């Protein structure tokens, strides 16, 4: 059975202690919250948007160094006896019709909530975030029965109830080693480390930051990275298997540490095609996507 490699799995394994939201974030500490969320109709306050039925009613939010990373889980939905999916979500910087960025979508095979939309914001604990969503069945209806991505785009509002947010108890701390992807620091609950002279880094968070889909295959203990021309990396193996069957030999095998898949730094370059530079003086990994 396939299951997601995600922070959400960590959260399910932890015991939620209390409802208090910490006012100050200790330096270097990751704060993780479960926050009630709904997708509200853009023009009718208090009314559910059509896509709200697809959302898990609890969002996972990670706070670190003044940034909030949101993870919104979605499942297929029904509308007028048709099945549909939210295929794309765009996050507005402020108001609809202004500048916007597309949320990263992560697919999870064989799961009720089979996709996660993830995005980061510099604003703290926002109650309302305006979005645009694409739903495949609405895109089909809007284009006279022929599917056209974005044809039925709808504005909506993600409403977060921070008064009912639960802080997840965690001892997760920022690593002394910093990872920058395209000049932006990657927030990870897994601290990179150096083993036998090799820098080991969390493959999931870096892959997501580079826009690569990632799936964990439990039965074979394999990480599958990328949707087209996907590559396979088996835990304990020192080879990456490309889509065409060719292999790349690594100088250290992938390992699982506290539920997270860690790979040698070189594997990131091989898996993504990105340029990877290690600065030993500042203990910084610089990753630049192509």
In the 8-state DSSP scheme, what is residue 151? T
Does the pTM surpass 0.85? The reply is no
The pLDDT tens digits for 118-143 are: 888 888 899 999 999 999 999 999 99
**3-state class of 78 per DSSP?**
strand
Share of the chain above pLDDT 90, in %: 26
State whether 189 and 140 are in the same domain.
no
**3-state class of 51 per DSSP?**
helix
What is the structure's pLDDT at 63?
A: 79
State whether 13 and 58 are in the same domain.
yes
The pLDDT tens digits for 41-92 are: 999 999 999 899 999 999 988 776 677 888 898 999 887 777 889 999 999 9
For residue 250, the enclosing domain spans 178-288
Instruction: Say how many domains are in the chain.
Output: 2
In the 8-state DSSP scheme, what is residue 49? P
State whether 160 and 202 are in the same domain.
no
What is the structure's pLDDT at 39?
A: 97
State whether 242 and 109 are in the same domain.
no
Instruction: Give the pair of three-digit tokens for residue 144.
Output: 């006279």
State whether 41 and 88 are in the same domain.
yes
Four-residue CA torsion sign, 185, 191, 208, 286:
positive
Residue 73 CB neighbour total at 10 angstroms: 25
Alpha carbon separation from 100 to 205, 222, 268 (Å, rounded): 22, 35, 28
What is the structure's pLDDT at 214?
A: 81
Pick from 213, 211, 232: nearest CA to 223: 232
* Residue where one domain finishes, among candidates 136, 168, 200: 168
9: confidence class by pLDDT, cuts 50, 70, 90: very low
């Amino acid at each position: 059975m396939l299951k997601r490699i995600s922070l959400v799995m960590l959260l399910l394994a932890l015991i939620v202690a209390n409802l208090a939201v910490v006012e100050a974030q200790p330096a270097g500490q990751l704060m993780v919250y479960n926050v009630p969320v709904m997708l509200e109709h853009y023009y009718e306050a208090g009314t559910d948007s059509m896509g709200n039925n697809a959302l898990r009613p609890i969002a996972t939010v990670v706070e670190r160094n003044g940034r909030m990373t949101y993870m919104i889980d979605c499942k297929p939905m029904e509308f007028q006896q048709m099945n549909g999916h939210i295929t794309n979500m765009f996050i507005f910087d402020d108001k609809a019709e202004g500048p916007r960025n597309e949320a990263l979508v992560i697919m999870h095979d064989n799961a009720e909530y089979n996709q996660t939309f993830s995005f980061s914001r510099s604003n703290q604990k926002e109650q309302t975030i305006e979005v645009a969503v694409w739903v495949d069945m609405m895109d089909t209806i809007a284009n006279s029965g022929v599917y056209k991505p974005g044809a039925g785009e709808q504005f909506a509002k993600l409403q977060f109830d921070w008064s009912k947010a639960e802080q997840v108890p965690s001892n997760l701390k920022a690593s002394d080693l910093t990872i920058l992807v395209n000049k932006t620091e990657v927030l990870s609950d897994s601290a990179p480390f150096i083993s036998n002279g090799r820098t080991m880094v969390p493959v999931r968070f870096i892959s997501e930051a580079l826009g690569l889909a990632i799936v964990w295959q439990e039965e074979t203990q394999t990480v599958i990275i990328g949707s087209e021309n996907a590559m396979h990396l088996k835990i304990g193996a020192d080879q990456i298997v490309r889509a065409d069957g060719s292999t790349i030999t690594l100088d250290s095998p992938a390992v699982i540490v506290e539920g997270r898949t860690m790979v040698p730094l070189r594997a990131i370059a091989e898996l993504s095609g990105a340029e990877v530079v290690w600065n030993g003086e500042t203990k910084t990994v610089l990753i630049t996507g192509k």
